[in-house]
Amino acid sequence: MTFPSAAPRHVAFDWGGVFTVGTFDGRSTQNVAERSGVPVERVRESYFRHVRQLEVGAWTLPQFWTTVQKEAGLTLPYSEFEPLYLGSIHDNAPMYTTLAQLPAGVRVGLLSNNYPVVSDHLRRDPRFGRFDALVFSNELGHKKPAPEAFAALEDAMGVPAAQVAFVDDVQENIDAAQAAGFHGMLYHHDHHAEFEAALADWLQG
């Protein structure tokens, strides 16, 4: 795919379900359940009850794990949980290829409902050097689809929202992005080629 060399338009992405295949939460809870030998339903009941505390930065990852561990009856220590958690990321390789192919004139942002430790892990990834703006809910204190999250993205991008396409795998977030003035693009990894063509067309203006 050839992107325009000079474009007055820009792009911002979600992370989970866009730069990953499937949901990080689903895979991580499955991995925890399998390692611990407890039913995944029990892990997920506690995990999803409290995960918002991570998403808005109210809890550290060790605090979160202590609560889930106790509620779900898990014996896995935090020292083993953290690498298992980070190892649950399954990259969507075609999207990273698309990211690398975007011309230098296109500003690139990320707005992700994310977690302590995971956001730090992503920042250290050399591929994330292509991003001009990284907005993580756990650092902001607001998560999508809250208007504050998209206001923070626009501010971090340094260009008007109307000049930015926002890519997400959740329709509710696309609707919120469009309400905030962004051009919404719903994504699914099974249709990456079609997405890439649509993005190139939009960047061309």
Structure tokens at 11: 């792009």
Burial class of residue 172, CB neighbours in 10 A (0-12, 13-18, 19+): exposed
What is the model's pLDDT at position 6? 53
Residue 62 belongs to a domain: yes
d(CA 74, CA 76): 6
pLDDT tens per residue across span 171-180: 999 999 999 9
Residue 2 belongs to a domain: no
Does the pLDDT value for residue 202 go beyond 90? yes
What is the model's pLDDT at position 87? 96
Same domain for 183 and 117: yes
Confidence bin at 2 (pLDDT 50/70/90) = low
Same domain for 142 and 54: no
**Domain of 39, in residue numbers:** 24-86
Does the pLDDT value for residue 97 go beyond 70? yes
Q: DSSP state, 88?
A: T
Q: Across all residues in the chain, what is the average pLDDT?
A: 95
Same domain for 120 and 70: no
d(CA 203, CA 103): 10
Does the pLDDT value for residue 119 go beyond 90? yes
Tell me, letter by letter, the H, E, C secondary structure of 119-187: HHHHHCCHHHHHCCEEEEHHHHCCCCCCHHHHHHHHHHHCCCHHHEEEEECCHHHHHHHHHCCCEEEEC
pLDDT tens per residue across span 149-199: 999 999 999 999 999 999 999 999 999 999 999 999 999 999 999 999 999
Query: Which residue in the block uniquely carries the two structure tokens 């999250």?
Result: 149
- pTM (whole model) above 0.85: yes
Same domain for 78 and 105: no
Measure CA of the first residue to CA of the last residue in the chain; give whole Å.
16
Structure tokens at 78: 């935090």
d(CA 27, CA 29): 6
What is the model's pLDDT at position 53? 98
Question: Please, which residues have CB within 8 angstroms of residue 173's CB and are 6 or more apart in sequence?
Answer: 14, 144, 145, 166
Mean pLDDT of 112-127: 96
Same domain for 198 and 128: yes
d(CA 186, CA 169): 5
What is the model's pLDDT at position 22? 84
Total domains present in the chain: 2
